[in-house]
Amino acid sequence: MGTPITDQIIDRMMAAGYDGFTSISEATRIMREFQASDKKEMTFGIMGAHGKCVDAIQLRREGA
């Protein structure tokens, strides 16, 4: 089971047209990248079919 944040990322990726497997894989990658960084805040874009950003995910650490 994923975390509620991971589940929200998956839902947003699927709403942007990604399949379930890709959405899960990308959500896992995004969470790992954010957790490995020392940044307090990061933004990740969700790219659409024509190479344009259709949505953005902003992750922020507690207390930031």
d(CA 19, CA 9): 13
H/E run at residue 46: strand 41-47
pLDDT band at 1 (very low <50, low <70, confident <90, very high): low
Q: Model confidence over 23-58: pLDDT tens digits?
A: 999 999 999 999 999 999 999 999 988 889 999 999
pLDDT, mean of residues 9-25 = 95
pLDDT of 11: 96
DSSP track, 20-37: HHHHHHHHHHHHHHHHHS
